[in-house]
Homo-oligomer: A and B are copies of this chain.
Amino acid sequence: MFYTDTFHIDMSRSQVTDRPLNPTAASLLGLLHHGPMTGWDLVSTAQTVIGDFWTLTRSQVYRELATMTDAGLLEAGERGTRDRRPYTLTDAGRAAFAAWLDRGPDAETIRFPLLLTVLFGRQLAPGRLATILAERHALHAARAAHYEQIDKAARDAAGPPDPYAMAVLDFGRHYERAVLDWFAALPPELTAPTGP
């Protein structure tokens, strides 16, 4: 096999212990505080809970679970039906998460390809930029509406909402509203369907 003879891979995995967690791995640990979950569960939970401001893929999740298990931060349970394998936090995992959380966040990275398009927009055919902007605008309007809807649902729910989760949601609302405002403030030269 190709995999079994790449010994250095296992070496690097076993060294994970002394490297600081990455935010993706840490998030998985954070989610596992609610109880054992399988990779599948984690992917879908993460998607809904942090998916709006943090992307992760299935592959990544399984990889992080494997390395964190090797590092002793997680314990893999017995495979159940459909090969479901629950992962449980260990004390080391809990400690690693607490340490990560307390270190404070890194700076955010915004990567907004639309701004590259705008910056180089003069080189597009007349009207093409306007089309692109209109498409993007529709997308952000939909997202903004989506957030408002979630916000309303959370407010209408019984009992006081979790202020931490609400703060995160509120960021999404502010962000999308800012993007919409920006669209609205664009000069007609850029948004005119016939081009500048």
Contacts and interface: CB of A to CB of B under 8 A. Distances in A.
Interface in A97-111: 97-98, 101-102, 104-111
A184 to B, nearest CB: 10
Given A171-B182, A174-B182, A190-B167, A113 B108 contact: yes
Contact of A171 (B55, B102, B115, B120): B115
A40 interface: no
A181 interface: yes
A85 interface: no
State the oligomeric state as a number of copies: 2
Contacts of A54: 111-112, 115-116
Contacts of A98: 123
A50 B55 CA distance: 22
A114 B50 CA distance: 12
B109 A105 contact: no
Interface residues of A, number: 62
Interface stretch (A25-33, A61-69, A72-80, A149-157): A25-33
Nearest to A98: B123
A73 to B, nearest CB: 16
10 contacts: A23-B116, A53-B112, A53-B115, A97-B123, A104-B135, A105-B132, A106-B113, A107-B113, A107-B139, A163-B190
Interface of A: 23, 26-27, 30, 33, 49-50, 53-55, 97-98, 101-102, 104-125, 128, 132, 135-136, 139, 163-168, 170-171, 174-175, 177-179, 181-182, 185-187, 189-190, 196
